[in-house]
Amino acid sequence: MIAVMGAGAFGTALAVSIARGGEAVTLWARDADAVARMQADRSTPRLPGVELPETITATAETGSIPVEVPILLAVPMQKLREVATAHAAMLAGHPLVACCKGIELATGLGPSQVLAEVLPDATVALLTGPSFAADIARGLPTALTLACADGTVAEQLQKAIATPNLRLYRTDDVTGAETGGAMKNVIAIACGAAIGAGFGESARAAVMTRGYAEMVRLATRRGARAETLAGLSGLGDLALTCTSTQSRNYAFGLSLGRGETFDASITVEGAATARAVRDEAARQGIEMPITEVVTRLIDGALDMETALGLLLSRPLKEE
């Protein structure tokens, strides 16, 4: 058995995939009315056309979560601490898998670090990599990274979560995996802005490549292995989110580049992450020009032409 906390599109998609793979899943949501609709209709507006398997039990009561089962925390990064703190007593004793991507704005911590602060005795893992909720829910082939410092727990979680269509690869480099998952959102905003402004596909390729260099620079300064970023949690996720309008961060970047207003109700993790990373880079003296430009674009301190000029006028150097 497995529990998923967070009945947004991604959390529900994971629940659907795992349930189809043969596991019973408890899916927790805050909204009791939404839970009642899911139980009655076996559907959710977050995933149109997807039927919830009968082995998913939706609930608004954390007391319904079975004891000691793995819990996947599929809540927005900036809400993770709030949820973990509010339910700390219940979460104690469960293996915890963070399924969000980003860096906490107030602290500069990644998801695994936030959980370790709130629940210092917990075994924490991270699920990340190139994936869209709709693809997972439809059973389309997807591969993700499962990062956990405890190899034995990682193998147990890998077997419990993986399905014939959802393939998991293990790593013990949690820092590398979560830094890649966070930074790819920032670079996706930059790529969307480049395309939205009409700078072209070649410009996007350049932003992706130099953005990847920033991702590796930050991750290795944090103690990660550079090769981790060449995997699913880094390069793989970067390739997906920088090229598809299904990515909220890329779509947000498109709106920036076009000078359009973006739907404020849509969570864009890369916006908060860009600010957090910009601040960390400044403290540590890490050169991250694309992240700096993205932050200034989001804050309205730059227009696209000026942003392009800043990047193109940087000193010529070896790659």
User: Distance of CA 283 to CAs 30, 80, 106, 286, Å?
Assistant: 37, 24, 14, 8
Query: 213 near 231, Cβ under 8 Å?
Result: no
| 184 part of the active site | yes
Alpha helices, DSSP H, located in 125-173 = 133-137, 151-161
Residues whose CB is less than 8 angstroms from the CB of residue 137 and which lie 6 or more positions away in sequence, other chains included:
9, 12, 13, 16, 17, 47, 50
Closest CA to 171 of 147, 143, 151: 147
Nearest in space to 276 (alpha carbons), one of 262, 290, 296, 295 = 295
The CA distance from 270 to 102, in Å, is 7
Closest by Cα among 253, 234, 249, 268 to 77? 268
Q: Give the Cα separation of 155 and 153 in Å (integer).
A: 5
Q: How far apart are CA 106 and CA 276, in angstroms?
A: 8
The residue assigned the tokens 């009945």 is 7
Q: Which amino acid is at 47?
A: L
Catalytic residue among 101, 159, 184, 317: 184
Residues annotated as catalytic (active site), given as ranges: 184
